[in-house]
Amino acid sequence: MTMVTPPPLDQEDEEMLVPHSDLVEGPQPLEGPQPMEIVAQTESASTVDNQPVEEPQTYRFTWKIESFSRLNTKKLYSEVFVVGGYKWRVLIFPKGNNVDYLSMYLDVADAATLPYGWSRYAQFSLAVVNQFHAKLTIRKDTQHQFNARENDWGFTSFMPLSELYDPSRGFLVNDTCVVEADVAVRRITDYWTYDSKKETGYVGLKNQGATCYMNSLLQTLYHIPYFRKAVYHMPTTENDNPSGSIPLALQSLFYKLQYNDTSVSTKELTRSFGWDTYDSFMQHDVQELNRVLCEKLEDKMKGTVVEGTIQQLFEGHHMNYIECIHVDFKSTRKESFYDLQLDVKGCRDVYASFDKYVEVERLEGDNKYHAEEHGLQEAKKGVLFIDFPPVLQLQLKRFEYDFMRDTMLKINDRYEFPLQLDLDRENGKYLSPEADRSVRNLYTLHSVLVHSGGVHGGHYYAFIRPTLSDQWFKFEDERVTKEDLKRALEEQYGGEEELPQTNPGFNNTPFKFTKYSNAYMLVYIRESDKEKIICNVDEKDIAEHLRIRLKKEQEEKELKRKYKAQAHLYTIIKVARDEDLCEQIGKDIFFDLVDYERVRSFRIQKQMPFNLFKEEVAKEYGIPVQFQRFWIWAKRQNHTYRPNRPLTPQEETQSVGQLREFSNKTNNAELKLFLEVELSLDRSPTPPPDKTKEDILLFFKLYDPQKEELKYVGRLFVKSSGKPIEILTKLNEMAGFSPEEEIELYEEIKFEPCVMCELLNKRASFKFSQIEDGDIICFQKSSGHESEGQCRYPDVPSFLEYVHNRQMVHFRSLERPKEDDFCLELSKLHTYDDVVERVAHRLGVDDPSKIRLTPHNCYSQQPKPHAIKYRGVERLLDMLVHYNQTSDILYYEVLDIPLPELQCLKTLKIAFHYATKDEVAIHNIRLPRQSTVGDVLNELKTKVELSHPDAELRLLEVFYHKIYKIFPLGEKIENINDQYWTLRAEEIPEEEKNLGPLDRLIHVYHFMKETGQNQMQVQNFGEPFFLVIREGETLAEVKLRIQKKLQVSDEEFLKWKFAFMSMGRPEYLQDSDIVSHRFLKRDVYGAWEQYLGLEHSDTAPKRAYAVNQNRLTFEKPVKIYN
């Protein structure tokens, strides 16, 4: 659609660029792309519909405009009026806004002075009053969310100017025009600042991904106080873990809903169900969850003080009966129920559903009842209720299975439910003879669970009135809002909604749309049990250990919140010491010096002078302040992290906050330091030595090739002009070697993206070797001491290379992709051959080329669809990388032939249809890629039973019950795809081999008709086939051959209809029609567009998977494992 934007309002002399030929009757903004206004209006309505609102404030403004015909202005504003605390005015264009119509809008009067991001929502009508007959007044309604971009909204084409200025019409009397504006303002809640507890007294539940269905049910159960009290009284102990105990998790959840100030997480509860994250992202059925949860709780309550609570609250009983009409025989069976499934389709309200529930069915004719000694008898069959429970749960059957379409459908029909439900109506028509008539079955509506959306997914929320007062609340995940009765009841009936007519003066058909939000479950509470069920629940109902545990949790949460809120006032100082280096190097880390996540942290106020912080360190470590020297760390260009220099005395007088900002340019909240402490021979601290520019602080690691161990052995100050040879004796002492031990020194330079560790020249100065503060020297005994062959990694560089590239890989069989079979330690640099050799050795397979590997998809947590080709990747790392993530999982298969050989072959999955029996066999044919379809069929002949030795076969491509191709025998199989469509092989019937010059080979398909989206659609099913049509053959003759071919009974075949189908449209044929006249094309390729259609119902048994075969999503059954 072309979008035309008019110039600003103040450019009145320029013509506004609104297309005169495309007048839009609906409401429009004065500025902006007018042809889009209907879309914008709809969006505004839907955006606001789901937001918390207060009662709308309404006002009627009347504006009398005198000397109307003499107005000489292009536009005219009314005086300002206030509705809902907001300033409004009406704007009109007396001569039209570049159209021959009166243009009229509602305008935000103070739009220019409102703060950035303002918005307000209003429903309003604008009217020009007919002063002769009020009923002829022209009034138009709309709604809009006003904002800075759209601060006016209304109707460019409100009414024709010719009607307005015609004195006989009554709109202009004494040259006075009367305009009315009815405005209703709803205040939109700002969700960022909205406080459910403050506004309503209740809190919501957090959504874990797709758990809104569970949240709405849990809120409903929580707000049945008797149920909540029973949950609190279930025995739990302080040693129980909420993640493993459903009672404790539910107690914890209910306690938090009762006492928290913010929304509550359900993760503990779902973990107690035994669910993983996947279950939390899979939307289940709320009715099914209700049953399963109540069954679990009923089981957990057995043998406790609250045993039987579920039955007392929710259990009712009905009686199934069959009563003979002509003999005295009656069979009855009592059954219990916790909820009732009520039909929605074909029922206008709850009472109609109950009428249908107890409807009497007559058993007669072929359906007579076998009444024991009386034989087959006519009888009445039905259900009557013995008793109803105090809490009546009604599950509305909004979803049903459509057997014709082989799919689930949602019923969005209008379905009413009353605020008070009288199940004793019409003299107790729903009650059985033995029902206790002294119990008054009058119920009050407590909650309405709503499903918004379609069959494949949607959103759940609940309207509840917790105390059965007149105030309703909407519980929608984290948010709780006050709602009125209309929103809780009438707006959840479903059905269709009619948009208000934009021009009542015309006979335009109102636009209707289906409401996809409607009630799905209703909870009623019996009036006589109201006091018992809506009882008081307070802290004395909660076990002491639970109160203590949850209060502690709350205190910890509050501490975390305060910690977070005050974080800007504090600096985290992380202090690494020699002890940390000794502890970590060679165990947790091998490169650099320390992992700062594992060192002592201090949380210090930013204003604290650093000298005072040193006193904190003295208390912590027992090291007097005068013996402490702190070094600042620096990140080098090669991405290593090393101590850079000691703090100066002047820096130590600064505040902690200043020091962090000065030392850390990345705005990280942490200050990282190394604490240098010098120890005397008796291990007591001594003052740190003076450091000049000539002095360099070096760190030393010792490597043992025999043990494959690396460890930290200490640090030394050396002179930059000095040489490594001068400190060899000291290093031998640190290592525990003899003073004369020959050692090799290496400088650890970097380790990302690859290891760089170089031999250090012992006779060159440190300055010449570019050694500086914080550098790391690794050393080991000279390799002459051991034969290199005895050690896997004889020197420091090879060991660091090994550590950097080693990778633990979890191998899983492709047939069992969820289970680890074994783990291997490999190197990321291992070649393809290295990896398959190690896997083959682990599996005891002689030939590594028979191992095929498949990589892992890190996002779906499944094997990737395509295996790794033989030597298709160079290194292990290439096998493990998936986009920007690295996996540690590979899947393996053991093949029956080497992979290079298999890759030269093509495997096709062929469905062979036997000619002599109603049977299909699946065969996997494996042939060289250059083979032809003829080769495939010859191979298939060796595997199947043919009707006779000389039978010829053909290969077809079948997709969605249509034949799209007959493969030529010479076609190469390399490009044939069997992933998306079926490859079907069959014998060529003899009649097709000798076609006469006038014979036709046509496609024959089965089909049903479906009505959807107000149009008829054809749905194909079953197995398609070819048929030879003779010249002049009538439909009656063709039908006989089809019936014989398909072996259909006479009774069933009479129900079938036959049609010539072209481009999906049926043209029904009579028995006398000459079939060949319809099929003029002889070419069968592309002939799926024209076929002989057999219309009948699909009576073939459905496969278990068929229902969900074409669905994008499906619902797993709800399971609670614990």
With a cut of 60, say whether residue 78 has pLDDT above it.
yes
Higher pLDDT, 200 or 299: 200
Higher pLDDT, 652 or 40: 652
| pLDDT band, residue 787 (cuts 50/70/90) | low
DSSP string over 349-373: BHHHHHHHHTPPEEE-GGG-EE-GG
Name the phi and psi angles at 820, rounded to 5.
-70, 130
| pLDDT band, residue 765 (cuts 50/70/90) | very high
| pLDDT band, residue 196 (cuts 50/70/90) | confident
With a cut of 70, say whether residue 44 has pLDDT above it.
no
Higher pLDDT, 609 or 960: 609
pLDDT of 283 reads 44
| pLDDT band, residue 53 (cuts 50/70/90) | very low
- Kindly give the interhelix angle for 246-259 and 212-222, rounded to the nearest 10 degrees: 80
* Rounded CA separation 29/637 (Å): 57
With a cut of 50, say whether residue 1079 has pLDDT above it.
yes
Sheet of 1057-1062: strand order equals: 1015-1029, 1000-1012, 1090-1095, 1057-1062, 1065-1068
**From 177, 212, 294, 324, the catalytic residue:** 212
Structure tokens at 1023: 């197995």
Give catalytic status of residue 582 as yes or no. Answer: no
Residue-wise over 420-439: b if at least 16 C-beta within 10 A, else e? ebebbeeeeebbbeebeeee
pLDDT of 237 reads 74
pLDDT of 393 reads 93
Give catalytic status of residue 212 as yes or no. Answer: yes
Residue-wise over 348-368: b if at least 16 C-beta within 10 A, else e? ebbbbbbeebeeeeebeeeee
pLDDT of 286 reads 65
With a cut of 50, say whether residue 714 has pLDDT above it.
yes
* Rounded CA separation 145/126 (Å): 16
pLDDT in tens, 103-123: 999 999 998 888 776 778 888
pLDDT of 1081 reads 55
Reference 207, options 264, 290, 287, 274; nearest CA is 264
The mean pLDDT of the chain is 82
* Rounded CA separation 1055/1061 (Å): 18
Side-chain-side CA neighbours of 161 within 13 Å: the count stands at 15
* Rounded CA separation 912/893 (Å): 27
Query: Which whole number is the average pLDDT over 627-634?
Result: 91
Cβ atoms of 527 and 421 closer than 8 Å: no
Cβ atoms of 210 and 283 closer than 8 Å: yes
With a cut of 90, say whether residue 464 has pLDDT above it.
yes
With a cut of 50, say whether residue 892 has pLDDT above it.
yes
| pLDDT band, residue 406 (cuts 50/70/90) | low
With a cut of 80, say whether residue 948 has pLDDT above it.
yes
Query: Which whole number is the average pLDDT over 682-697?
Result: 90
Reference 576, options 456, 674, 485, 462; nearest CA is 674
Q: Any idea what DSSP says for residue 205?
A: B
DSSP string over 794-825: -SHHHHHHHHHHEEEEEEEETTSTTS--EEEE
Structure tokens at 457: 């997914």
* Rounded CA separation 753/638 (Å): 9
**From 223, 284, 446, 459, the catalytic residue:** 459
Distances (CA, A) of 285 to 217, 246, 408, 707, 1069: 11, 20, 13, 59, 46
Structure tokens at 739: 């003073």
* Rounded CA separation 289/300 (Å): 16
pLDDT in tens, 966-976: 899 988 888 78
* Rounded CA separation 769/473 (Å): 75
* Rounded CA separation 123/88 (Å): 13
pLDDT of 117 reads 67
Beta strand pairing status for 1057-1062 and 1065-1068? antiparallel
* Rounded CA separation 668/903 (Å): 53
pLDDT of 1011 reads 54
**Max avg pLDDT among 264-273, 523-532, 859-868, 878-887:** 523-532
- Spell out the residues 6+ positions from residue 307 whose beta carbon is closer than 8 angstroms to its own: 301
Q: Report yes or no on whether pTM surpasses 0.85.
A: no
| Number of residues that this document lists for the chain | 1122
Structure tokens at 335: 């059954």
pLDDT in tens, 416-441: 999 999 999 999 999 999 999 999 99
